[in-house]
Amino acid sequence: MNQVAQMMAQMGYPRPFVPPAAPAPASGFPNPQPSFPAPAPQTTAPPVDPKVLYAVQLVKLKEMGFTNEEVNLDALKATHGIIDAAIERILTMLK
């Protein structure tokens, strides 16, 4: 028992409570950090086919006259599906 715990015992203070789930460190005092369950493992979503992900945007680009699906898809992937930005990117590539 350390000196502080001994002094507290001599002064009539009860021994500090230590919950069974959190064993007391060598000092005899309860662990100030509560023990929490381990976090759930991080899961990632399976990759989605860009043709499926950007299907609506691909149709709109085709309707606007942008018929090269490969170029359209590259532009949509680069702009995360933002169609206005994809159009700007396509037009810049044509210059």
Q: Where are the beta strands (DSSP E) in the chain?
A: none
Q: To which H or E segment does residue 82 belong?
A: none
- 80 within a domain of the structure (yes/no): yes
- 41 within a domain of the structure (yes/no): no
d(CA 75, CA 78): 5
- Provide the CATH number for the domain around residue 62: 1.10.8
pLDDT tens per residue across span 29-77: 665 666 677 777 888 888 899 999 999 999 999 999 999 999 999 999 9
- 77 within a domain of the structure (yes/no): yes
Q: Is the pLDDT of residue 24 over 80?
A: no
Please say whether the beta carbons of 29 and 3 come within 8 A: no
The pTM assigned to this predicted structure is 0.54
